Amino acid sequence: MKIKQLSLRIRIFLAMILLILLASVLIAAVTIYQYKEQTEEYNEGRLLRKEEAVKASINYWLSSGNTFPLEAENLKFIFKDKIYEISDIEKLEINIYDLNGNKAISSHAGFIKSDAPVALSKELINYLSNNIEHKYSSSLNLEGSTFQTSFSYIIDNKFKPFGILNLRYEQDNTAQDEDLREFLYRMLMVYVLMFAIAILLAYFISSYVTKNIKAVTDKMKSTSLNSRNEKIEIKNASLEINTLVNAYNFMVDELESSAIKLAKGEREQAWREMAKQVAHEIKNPLTPMRLTVQSFQRKFDANDPEIKDKINEYSKTLIQQIDTMSLIASAFSDFAKMPAQQKEELDVVEVIKHALDIFSEEYIYYFPKKESIIAELDKTQLIRVITNLVTNAIQALQEVEHKKIEVTVTEENEKVIIVIADNGKGILENDKIRVFEPKFTTKSSGMGLGLGMVKNIIEAYNGTITFTSKQQVGTVFNIEIPKK
């Protein structure tokens, strides 16, 4: 099973366990690294102390006990017996070379041949000659043992080098290794205990975290567009869960708003279908009426003795078709009557926001001057006003490169003031006087009923709608509606 297919609870559980394991591995690695660093520093310091002691012994011997001239060819005579004495005291191997790098004398004794070089490399001699006051040190691993080795000059009483001193010291890290193993063992015991505690904590924490998420998930599964959805209320939840709950509750509000918009869209679609049907029904009686008039016009003869009967028959046919059209018109009129205003106390700022949510254009900007404006209006009609005006503004921006629509709302003197502005092509001077007339439109499609309907809605509230417009600059509609 892929990790992405695991539940959140299991992933939290595994993450906490892996975190404990990773922490234990990292601490063990850092401990071992630190141990090696300290051991290395300890051995280097110990070699330095031994080197200082050896040099002190050599200098004392050269100044008080030696009888040979301090020259390179006398090295084997100067240190003939003293080198063994110093080596026994300091417990290390001492080799002395001349300035050309050839071994002059060594403290190594026994049947096993010393692995110290018989002659020093030119690189080492060059290094020492360029760094007279310094030494050269390194580590060697031979047959499972680690050696610290150093090279430095032996100088006479005039500070002139006449030999090269080599010290070889075998490291003994047995005690340090034992301390490290003891520490790692104790740390392992502690982490085994911590690992057991971490498993329990991970189980309870993952259960606690996912419990609230499961509640949100169950609510989401029962969410439906066609029914009223309940909001989630969780007490003492974490910040993240509260954020998730607030997002869900907001989604419920948006879903309710979308359902209203969807219902509105379905109603508008029904109106369009009905209009097509009405047009079709009106065309049906018009055709026989036209044929009857044309036939009467073609066959009319004032001297025809049956002219009265023909006129009566012609009139009867026309009256029947006219009655049919009247019935269609009456039925459409009854169906098209605007419903009575259902005033309710609502937040105008929020309703306008919901009305604008139906549009996906990114250049529509909403600027409410207050967080909330309470008024007694019909929510559906207010949404209809906003959508009509914004739709007209969008259509006016079709040929504009940098499109922009601004919708603002505020309140003043117990009135709600709504302003919708665009930077579109504007309205021609000759058309301004006819903007609110029914059936007037400058578009290739549409019946020109939108702005007329908007004006009727606003005037039904004893409000006003005005506009200013300038060609190639834009148009601003200003609406004022009493709050009550």
Domain residue spans of the chain = 3-176, 239-336, 344-482
The CA angle 276-281-284, to the nearest 5 degrees, is 130
Residue 42 has a pLDDT of: 77
Question: Helix 8-64 to helix 174-221 angle, to the nearest 10 degrees?
Answer: 160
Locate 133 and state its tokens: 């006051």
CB 98 within 8 A of CB 164: yes
Encode burial over 433-448: b for 16+ CB neighbours within 10 A, e otherwise: eebbeeeebeeeeeeb
Burial of 258 (0-12, 13-18, 19+ CB in 10 A): middle
Query: How crowded is residue 383: how many other Cβ atoms within 10 Å of its Cβ?
Result: 20
Cα–Cα distances (Å) from 37 to 33, 43, 130, in that order, read: 6, 10, 29
- Quote the pLDDT of residue 240: 65
List the chain residues with pLDDT less than 50: 1, 334-335, 444-448
Question: To which residue do tokens 């008080």 refer?
Answer: 64
Tell me the sheet residues that pair with 409: 368, 418
The CATH H-level (homologous superfamily) assignment of domain 344-482 is Histidine kinase-like ATPase, C-terminal domain (3.30.565.10)
What pLDDT is recorded for position 365? 92
The number of CA neighbours under 13 Å toward the Cβ of 256 is: 11
Give the SS3 label for residue 467. Answer: strand
User: Hey, is 217 helix, strand or coil?
Assistant: helix
Q: How far apart are CA 99 and CA 154, in angstroms?
A: 10
- CATH topology (fold) of 3-176: Beta-Lactamase (3.30.450)
- Burial (CB < 10 A; 0-12, 13-18, 19+), residue 346, is middle
Write b or e for each residue in 60-86: b if 16 or more Cβ atoms lie within 10 A of its Cβ, otherwise e.
ebbeeebeeebebebbeebbeebbbeb
Task: Report helix, strand or coil for 465.
Answer: strand
Give residue 418's pLDDT.
93
Kindly state the tokens that stand for 341: 């205003």
Cβ atoms 108, 93 nearer than 8 A: yes
| Range 26-33, long-range pairs (CB < 8 A, 24+ positions) | 27/187, 28/184, 28/187, 31/180, 31/183, 31/184, 31/187, 32/180, 32/184
pLDDT recorded at residue 483: 86
pTM: 0.35
Instruction: Write the CATH number of the domain with boundaries 239-336.
Output: 1.10.287
Of 384, 462, 454, the C-alpha closest to 416 is: 462
Cβ(397)–Cβ(422) below 8 Å = yes
Asked if residue 205 lies in contact with residue 12, where contact means CB atoms within 8 angstroms, the answer is yes
Whole-number Å distance between alpha carbons of 441 and 421: 19
**pLDDT of res. 30:** 86
pLDDT in tens, 7-19: 666 777 777 778 8
The pLDDT of residue 143 is 54
Task: Give 163-193 as a DSSP string.
Answer: EEEEEEEE---HHHHHHHHHHHHHHHHHHHH
Q: Do residues 349 and 369 lie in contact, with contact meaning Cβ atoms separated by under 8 Å?
A: no
Q: What pLDDT, on a 0 to 100 scale, did the predictor assign at position 7?
A: 67
